[in-house]
Structure 1
Amino acid sequence: MTLFSLVLALILEQFRPLNAAKYLHQPLDALGHFFESRFNDGQASHGIIAWCLMVIPPVVLSAVVYWLLYQIHPVVAFVFNVAVLYYTMGFRHVSHYFTRIHAALRAQDLPRARELIGQWRGHLHELSSTQEVTRLTIEQGLVGAHRQVFAIIVLFVIFPGPSGAVLYRMAAHFDKAWGARIGPAIGDFGGFARRAFYYIEWLPARITAMAFSIVGDFEDAAYCWRVQAPEWPDRNEGVLLAAGAGALGVRLGMPIHQSGEVIERPDLGTGDDAEVEYLQSTVGLVRRTLVLNVLILLLLGITRLAS
Structure 2
Amino acid sequence: MTFLSILCALLIEQLRPLRADNYVYAMVQMLADRMEGSFNAGQESHGRMAWLLTMLLLVVPAALVYWLCTKISPIAVLAWNIVIVYFTLGFRRYSHYFTSIQIALNGGDEATARSLLAEWTKQDTAGMEVGEVARVAVEQALITTHRNVFGVFFWFLMPFGPACAVMYRVAEHLARAWNEPDHMRNESFGLFAARAFYWIDWVPARLTAVAFAVVGNFEDAIYAWRNFAGRWKDEAIGIILAAGGGAMGLRLGSSVENAADIVPVDATTIEFHSLAADTPPGEEATARALQSTVGLVWRSLLLWMLLLLLISLAVWLN
State the TM-score, normalizing by the size of structure 1. 0.93
Deviation string, structure 1 residues 11-51 (Cα, Å, up to 9, x no partner): 11111111231323311121012111211101111110011
1:260 equivalent in structure 2: none
* 1:228 counterpart letter in structure 2: F
How far apart are the structure 2 equivalents of 1:7 and 1:161?
15
2:65 equivalent in structure 1: 65
1:280 equivalent in structure 2: 291
1:259 equivalent in structure 2: none
How far apart are the structure 1 equivalents of 2:188 and 2:240?
27
Deviation string, structure 1 residues 188-225 (Cα, Å, up to 9, x no partner): 11111111111111111000100000000000000100
Asked whether the 8 Å contact 1:217–1:249 carries over to 2, the reply is: yes
* 1:236 counterpart letter in structure 2: A
Query: Shift of residue 234 of structure 1?
Result: 0.5
Q: Is 1:299 matched up with 2:310? A: yes
Asked whether the 8 Å contact 1:174–1:193 carries over to 2, the reply is: yes
Deviation string, structure 1 residues 253-305 (Cα, Å, up to 9, x no partner): 123xxxxxxxx333674112212111111100000000000110111122222
Matches of residues 1-307 of structure 1 in structure 2 within 5 Å? 1-181=1-181, 187-255=187-255, 264-266=256-258, 269-307=280-318
Deviation string, structure 1 residues 230-249 (Cα, Å, up to 9, x no partner): 11110001000000000001
Asked whether the 8 Å contact 1:181–1:190 carries over to 2, the reply is: no
How far apart are the structure 1 equivalents of 2:194 and 2:34?
19
* 2:50 counterpart letter in structure 1: A
Runs of 4 or more consecutive aligned structure 1 residues displaced over 4 Å after TM superposition: 181-186
* 2:61 counterpart letter in structure 1: L
Deviation string, structure 1 residues 138-176 (Cα, Å, up to 9, x no partner): 101111111111110011002413012101111111111
State the TM-score, normalizing by the size of structure 2. 0.90
- Specify every segment of 5 or more residues in structure 2 that has no aligned partner in the other structure, as ranges: 260-278
Deviation string, structure 1 residues 108-139 (Cα, Å, up to 9, x no partner): 01111111111111011111000000100110
How far apart are the structure 2 equivalents of 1:234 and 1:130?
25
Query: Shift of residue 186 of structure 1?
Result: 6.6
Query: Shift of residue 63 of structure 1?
Result: 1.6
Assess, with a 3 A threshold, how the Cα gap between structure 1 residues 187 and 76 changes in structure 2: closer, same or farther: same
Asked whether the 8 Å contact 1:178–1:186 carries over to 2, the reply is: no
Asked whether the 8 Å contact 1:42–1:185 carries over to 2, the reply is: no
Assess, with a 3 A threshold, how the Cα gap between structure 1 residues 23 and 167 changes in structure 2: closer, same or farther: same
How far apart are the structure 2 equivalents of 1:104 and 1:208?
28
- Specify every segment of 5 or more residues in structure 1 that has no aligned partner in the other structure, as ranges: 256-263
Assess, with a 3 A threshold, how the Cα gap between structure 1 residues 190 and 43 changes in structure 2: closer, same or farther: same
How far apart are the structure 1 equivalents of 2:3 and 2:198?
26
Asked whether the 8 Å contact 2:13–2:86 carries over to 1, the reply is: yes
Query: Shift of residue 182 of structure 1?
Result: 5.8
* 2:143 counterpart letter in structure 1: V
Asked whether the 8 Å contact 1:110–1:130 carries over to 2, the reply is: yes
Asked whether the 8 Å contact 2:20–2:94 carries over to 1, the reply is: no
* 1:85 counterpart letter in structure 2: V
